[in-house]
Copies of this chain bind each other. A is one copy, B any other.
Amino acid sequence: MAHKIAILGASGYTGAELVRLLSTHPSYDIVALSADRKAGQSMGQVFPHLRHVDLPVLVKIDEIDFSGVDLVFCALPHATTQNVIKALPSHLKVVDLSADFRLRDPADYEKWYGQPHAAVEMQREAVYGLTEFYRDDIRAARLVACTGCNAATGQFALRPLISAGLIDLDDIIIDLKTGVSGAGRSPKENLLHAELSEGTHAYGVGGVHRHLGEFDQEFSKLAGRKVEVQFTPHLLPANRGILATVYVKGDPQAIHAELSRAYADEPFLVVLPFGEHPSTRHVRGGNFVHLGVAGDRRSGRAIVIAALDNLTKGSSGQAIQNANLMLGEEETAGLMLAPVFP
């Protein structure tokens, strides 16, 4: 029997991506969709690519009867999210796509997000949603906090290397290129087509991007010591896709071998042959991560390049992968859709 699903914040891009993926998922029924400002509209009006899907009309959150719902995907902005999730009935499983429950330490949350956390007790209970590394915890969790899309990309490149002690922890640089859909659907001058197409620029330069909070938390935990990476994101004139070019000090062949070993049985992780490199075009719309490794002419230096789709594996695909585990479904259910190229 199908699980009953509600999506809060369905009028944003991650909300729409959840609906896209769930529309061919074999075992979930979407029974409620919320969108504050667009309540009363149909999903097909807000996102015409979903016109063919039979869906409930958009409502405000407090209009939803959660009694028959099994699991909620929460795709709301950070800060708003805490209060919404705190108020949800306790029988509900929750997969949160916001930043609100990613950081374990309330002080870290306040540092990176500029305000105290309003649901500290839940913050501690939440499980970090990078599926491949937290499977058992996710299966048992009531609240899973999906990762930042940039944070996921960097971690897929680096976690096995840190765990295996293969790289210098003091000299990690993540130069990241991301598509514009990660910035959401808010009308802002700097997100206009005329401003973003046909070029690139860096943003959040100088160690200030919020996903550093996730990198710090996860890498330090893995390493058993403080690890602070250097991280510079750039906006790419494309809608989807993240490419992380990661510069490390270590042996390239050993690094390639370790990534190959670590991800050998992972259905969504593809380690390319040594010296081949991924393209964001080849993961677009799919839940897959492509990874490549190369050396340098100077020994002891390596580059790891990781590519994923920020809306799929970086957000909504990851969220469904977690929901599958939480509800006892096949982890890959509904997620084997091949990327769309060209």
Contact = CB atoms under 8 A, between A and B. Distances in A.
Nearest to A339: B49
Interface in A32-67: 47-53
Contacts of A23: 336, 338
A187 B245 CA distance: 28
A275 B337 CA distance: 34
Interface in A131-179: 171, 173, 175, 177
A277 B204 CA distance: 10
Contacts of A290: 48, 51
Contacts of A280: 199-201
Contacts of A236: 199-200, 236-237
A13 B175 contact: no
Of A50, A194, A307, most B-chain CB atoms within 10 Å: A194
Given A196-B193, A200-B280, A234 B177 contact: yes
A116 interface: no
A198 B198 contact: yes
20 contacts: A13-B194, A20-B338, A49-B284, A49-B286, A51-B270, A51-B288, A175-B245, A185-B192, A185-B194, A187-B192, A193-B193, A193-B196, A193-B239, A195-B281, A197-B197, A199-B238, A200-B243, A206-B275, A236-B236, A240-B340
Given A195-B342, A234-B245, 13 more contacts: A19-B338, A24-B336, A49-B283, A53-B338, A175-B247, A181-B342, A186-B189, A193-B195, A193-B196, A193-B239, A198-B284, A202-B245, A207-B295
Interface of A: 13, 16, 19-20, 23-24, 47-53, 171, 173, 175, 177, 180-181, 185-189, 191-203, 205-208, 212, 228, 230, 232, 234, 236-241, 243, 245, 247, 267-268, 270, 272, 275, 277-286, 288, 290, 292, 294-298, 301, 303, 305, 307, 336-342
